[in-house]
Amino acid sequence: MTSPVNEIASATPPGFESYLAFGIYSMVALGLIAVLLLLSWGLGHRTRSRTKNEPYESGVYPTDNARLKGPVPFYLVAIFFLLFDVEVIFVASWAVAYDRLGWAGFAQVSFFILILFAGLVHLWKTGALDWGPSAQRHQRDRQRLS
């Protein structure tokens, strides 16, 4: 009786037909993208005016500069969410196939989690997770002392 890992390792590589089908699919997809881009460029309106170049958002005309005047922690939270969301995808996919991956898969997912944890500790130590007025006050105090 062979293990599932040995069966996967001894599987034959895909044949020429598989590569041909993938190549045709890729060429059709790239061709469709090119056609759509060319159609939008050719059929698009080319008129320009001051009114058309003004920003317009949901019926509200802009009254001030769109640039933010300070750091926005929302973007950091969004990046952290995406990072750990990807981590969950990898760990969940490992959990589904843990019986096939064995101890080697466990070691790999543990290494992956360890690297992400080291990154989180680094962010914590450098102050990237300190948000809000108290963090800004501490940063100003550190700059004054320097």
* pLDDT exceeds 80 at position 131: no
* pLDDT exceeds 70 at position 108: yes
What is the tens place of the pLDDT at every residue in 92-106? 988 998 889 889 999
Question: In the structure encoding, which two tokens stand for residue 52, read together?
Answer: 């058309």
User: What is the 3 state secondary structure string of 33-91?
Assistant: HHHHHHHHHHHCCCCCCHHHHCCCECCECCCCCCCCCCCCHHHHHHHHHHHHHHHHHHH
Instruction: Name the pTM for this structure.
Output: 0.43
Question: Who has greater pLDDT, 24 or 1?
Answer: 24
* pLDDT exceeds 70 at position 135: no
* pLDDT exceeds 70 at position 22: yes
The CA-based angle 112-117-121, given to 5 degrees, is 150
What is the tens place of the pLDDT at every residue in 3-12? 665 666 667 8
> By percentage, how much of the chain surpasses pLDDT 70?
75
